[in-house]
Every structure is written in structure tokens, then in C-alpha cells.
Amino acid sequence: MINWHHDAFMRTTVTLDAETEALLREEMRRTGVSFKALINACILRSLRDNPGERQSPEIADSPLPMGPPYPWARDRLPTHVAEDIEVTEFLEEEARKRRHGQRYPAL
């Protein structure tokens, strides 16, 4: 039986550009090293050599509108929808009070 541990093996897909692929193939032919061994060696060398010079890649992000905040931004809703929500919440609160036997003060 083979025991697998969560970090024992990891498979991933890497997309290489043409220049990188050509350099890797050339190095594999020159050294006779497998693709897996060469990739691991290159990554380790890159991460160990001059760690202070590494820079995070720039990530281009732009915010996307996600709509009103939860549950709703009532000031942005059409009036009839906001009123319907208020009525629904009022009725739900009244039903909750009745279930729990809460009495109302006399008016």
C-alpha cells in the first residue's frame, strides 16, 4: 500500500513561452537531465540566488462593481422595492414577537 501525504507529491501545469521552452530543451540535451529535475533545479537556483533582488510581478487589477453592500443599500434601490423590504421585515418581526409571546404596550 502506498501512503500519500498531502505534500509528498504535487502535479501542476506550467505554461512556458517559446523562448523558455527552447532554453529548457537545450539544457536537457546538453546535460541529459530530465525535465522534472531541470525545472526543480532552475526554480531552486532562482529562489536561492540573490533573494533580495527578487521582485513580485506587477499585477494589473481593476475593481469591478459588485452592487450594493449586503443586505442592501436601500438608498440605491427603487422606492417600491425598499418599501417592500421594510414591510416584509416589519411583518417578520411582528410574527417573531407573537411566537415568543411578547405583548405590545397599549397605545
Domain contains 104: yes
Residue identified by cell 521552452 is 21
Q: Does residue 77 share a domain with residue 107?
A: yes
Domain contains 75: yes
Domain contains 100: yes
Euclidean distance between CA atoms 107 and 105, whole angstroms: 6
If one counts the domains in the chain, the total is 2
Euclidean distance between CA atoms 39 and 51, whole angstroms: 18
Range of the domain at 33: 18-50
Return the amino acid letter for 58: E
Domain contains 92: yes
Give, for all 107 residues of the chain, the pLDDT tens digit.
Answer: 455 555 556 677 888 899 999 999 999 999 999 998 999 898 888 888 876 666 667 777 787 777 666 555 666 667 777 778 888 888 888 888 888 876 665 55
SS3 83: helix
Alpha helix positions (H), 1-107: 18-31, 35-48, 79-99
Domain contains 39: yes
Domain contains 60: no
pTM of the model: 0.39
